[in-house]
Structure 1
Amino acid sequence: MKLPASVRILALCQALYTIGISIQLTLTGLAGLQLASDKRWATLPFSLIILSAAVTTLFAAHWLQRAGRRSGFLLGAGSGAFGGALAFVALWQHSFALLCTAALFTGGFQAFAQYYRLAAADSVGSETKGRAIATVLTGGVLAALFGPLLARSAQGWLPGVLFGGAYLMASLMGIATATLIYMGYKPVHMTVSTKDSTVPPRRLRQIVAQPVFQAALASNAVAYLLMAGLMTATPLAMLGCGFTLADGAGVIQWHMLGMFAPALLAGWLVQRLGVTVLGLTGTLLLLLASLLASQSLSLPAFYIALLLLGVGWNFMFVAGSTLLALSYRPSERGKTQASSEFATSLLAALASLAAAPLLQQLGWQQLNHYAPCLLLLPVVLLLRQHRQSRRSGSDD
């Protein structure tokens, strides 16, 4: 079945967003270090991006349902464009407070962009939701290839403002996203059956009690928690092992390729093998990544472990997002997506904030030794959901 044109537009939006946000996440810590009078607060703007995204996720879901996806995605892209421009002004004016304010708007862009994949899933039938989600995530491949290159080349555009050109580039990505949405995005909604249109929406606790929702949330949240925590800790761990910043940048770039390139395959796998097999394969890859990282501090080990971490995250995230899209009726979309995305974003934010202290206390190898314990939850819930779907005769 051919996917709607709106899915391809959302994949391009995902690419532009990921390029813009990767520039901001790469440089915000360094910009904070430059502007903060007390260097202990240097990472505050970085943390504010993540926390703002988590909080805004709740608002974004309800806005998208009530005002429409086109309006919501335009608002998110505009927030990203303004955040990048404001960060440039902060660097120009040497204002740490302005940089922190800019981070809040950048987090808003991230919150709305998280719904690109779910908008794609809602535009197709249940049998192709996984492929639609995976197609949108392939947009991140372009970001993994060109994001770091653009960040390095753009930061020298304005010699008098360190990193200023890179932040203007991030702002341009927001403007480009808004232009693409305004000119080319036409939301597609599946026809609501008479039964679904007459049945009143369920309470949130009823939706959350479903095994399909619990399996979706566990897959998404645990994948994001491990990915965000270990990715944040990786550059610090590598510096502690004597590697250079260039080595760290190379490892993160391969990690980003691992996060998005497999989406080209995940869409096919979820249709051929099913959601459960894809999700369990992702947990296995995350387990292998942690085991490798806990056993070796060599540069190849960092490269392979972070690549496996990215691929495992992708498989678990595609599986979890597909299950999430199957857990609600159209009238329940806003509150269901909001609760899942908020929980996932909040855990990712906490993992990022805790990464440095845990790394300092435990060390890189010990941190990876404990990480796989978290994978038990999605494994159990995915298997339970699979058994229930087989009993009910549905296809997962």
Structure 2
Amino acid sequence: MLWNILLLALSWSLGQGIFFIQISITTLAATSFTNWYLATIPIGSMLFVATIWSVFLPRVIARYGYRPPFYFGALMGMIGAGLCIVAAWFKLYWLLVVSATFIGGQVPCTFYYRLAGLQFSTQEFASKAIAMVTAGGCLSAFIGPEIAKLMINVLPKQYSGAYLAALGECAALLFTMRTIQFPNVKKSTMQ
């Protein structure tokens, strides 16, 4: 039980790290690729997709269990981070917007990890389980931007190294999701 909650806390930290890297680097990259007044459109598209996916995520979890939608979110993040690398490499603003929308598919899954922590706790331990999972995000608030700052010029093209770090975090997130022993959720028909 505690092991799974700690893994969810790690997952929350990785997911939030990806989110913080995306916010800090994509705005800078978009500003250098195009006019400054278009710099927030990639983040807006990411949050738009995140909002839509967050409406359907509980229903998908109720029908298929935790693992498939969380895998889907991590894969969306990996695709988005990979496309961000290409966008940074060739300075393609439109691809930066598209890649941010893919990362938007990962964001609500990260926010749902705290609720998944309830599956591994008793009624008395529920509030502590949520707090433990959410505490993982506090670490990423410092580590995510630092990773972005340190990795920004690791590859020959500016910003692509930070996106490589986000891709690595998505891969680690996918591995962590594989390690967590999620309970089976009874499949039900969507109403």
TM-score by length of 2: 0.91
**Root-mean-square deviation over aligned CA pairs:** 2.2
Q: Distance in 2 between matches of 1:13 and 1:25?
A: 18
Is 2:129 the counterpart of 1:132? yes
1:119 maps to 116
Taking the aligned partners of 1:151 and 1:91, their CA distance within structure 2 comes to: 14
Instruction: Report what 1:174 is aligned to.
Output: 170
Measure how far apart 1:189 and its partner are. 6.5
- CA deviation digits over 1:73-119, x for unaligned, max 9? 11111111111111111111221111001111111100111110001
Counterpart code for 1:6:
N
CA distance in 1, matches of 2:57, 2:90: 31
Structure 1 residue aligned with 2:183: 188
8 A contact 1:155–1:163 mirrored in 2: yes
Aligned equivalents of 1:42 and 1:23: distance in 2?
15
Q: Is the 8 A contact 1:123 1:189 kept in 2?
A: no
What CA distance in whole angstroms lies between the structure 2 residues aligned with 1:112 and 1:4?
20
1:137-186 per-position Cα deviation (integer Å, ceiling 9, x unaligned): 11123313322221111001023x1111001101110011001111x111
Q: Provide runs of 4+ in structure 1 moved above 3 Å.
A: none
Question: Any idea what SS the aligned residue of 1:115 has?
Answer: helix
Deviation (angstroms), 1:4: 3.7
C-alpha displacement of 1:69? 0.4
Deviations 1:181-225 (A, max 9, x none): 11x1111379x9xxxxxxxxxxxxxxxxxxxxxxxxxxxxxxxxx
Helix, strand or coil at the partner of 1:118: helix
Deviation at 1:63, TM superposition (A): 1.7
Residues 249-282 of structure 1, C-alpha deviations (whole Å, 9 max, x = no match): xxxxxxxxxxxxxxxxxxxxxxxxxxxxxxxxxx
Q: Which residue of 2 aligns with 1:35?
A: 33
Distance 2:28 2:113 in 1: 29
Does residue 49 (structure 1) correspond to residue 51 (structure 2)? The answer is no
Structure possessing the higher relative contact order (Cα contacts under 8 Å, 6 or more residues apart): 2
Q: Which residue type is aligned with residue 181 of structure 2?
A: K
Structure 1 residue aligned with 2:153? 156
Aligned identity (percent) is: 31
Q: Distance in 1 between matches of 2:96 and 2:18?
A: 16
- Give runs of aligned pairs for residues 7-22 of structure 1, distance below 5 A: 7-22=5-20
Q: Give the 3-state SS of the residue equivalent to 1:126 in structure 2.
A: coil
Q: Is the 8 A contact 2:65 2:184 kept in 1?
A: no
Contact 1:6 1:188 in 2 (8 A): no
Counterpart residue type for residue 181 of structure 1: M
Gaps of 5+ in 1: 193-330, 336-396
CA contact (8 A) 2:114 2:134 kept: yes
Q: Which amino acid aligns with 1:131?
A: K
Q: What amino acid is aligned across from residue 166 of structure 1 in structure 2?
A: A
Could you say which residue in structure 2 is the equivalent of 1:343?
Answer: none
Residue 13 of structure 1: CA displacement?
Answer: 0.7
**1:4 and 1:70 mapped to 2: Cα distance?**
18
